[in-house]
Amino acid sequence: MQLTQRLSTVAAQVFIDALPNNIKEALLTYSAEIEYPVEVVLEMAIAFFLDLDCAGFADCRTDTPGAMRERIAILEAIIRQNGITVPKLPD
C-alpha cells in the first residue's frame, strides 16, 4: 500500500459518497464556501477531530487518547510536586 501526504480526490469522493446525506451536503457546502477542494476539507475535519489545535495532518498530533491522558497525569504530578498554581480557565 502506497502512503501519500494528501488524500486523493478519488479516495475523498469514495469516502464522501459513503457518508449520510446531511454530512455529505455539509462538507460540500463548506468546501464551496471556503473555496477549498473537498478532499482538503475532509482531511481538515479528520485532523481536527484528532487534535483540536491542528490545521491539517501535517501538524496533527496523533497520540492515542491513553497516551495523552498519561502525559496530562505526569504534568499534573509535576505541577503538584513543585507547588505550581495553575489558574482556572473560564467556562
User: pLDDT at residue 51 above 80?
Assistant: no
pTM for the complete prediction?
0.53
Q: What is the mean pLDDT of residues 31-59?
A: 78
Residue-level pLDDT at 82? 94
pLDDT at position 59: 56
pLDDT band at 14 (very low <50, low <70, confident <90, very high): very high
Task: Give the three cell numbers for residue 7.
Answer: 488524500
pLDDT score of 31 more than 60: yes
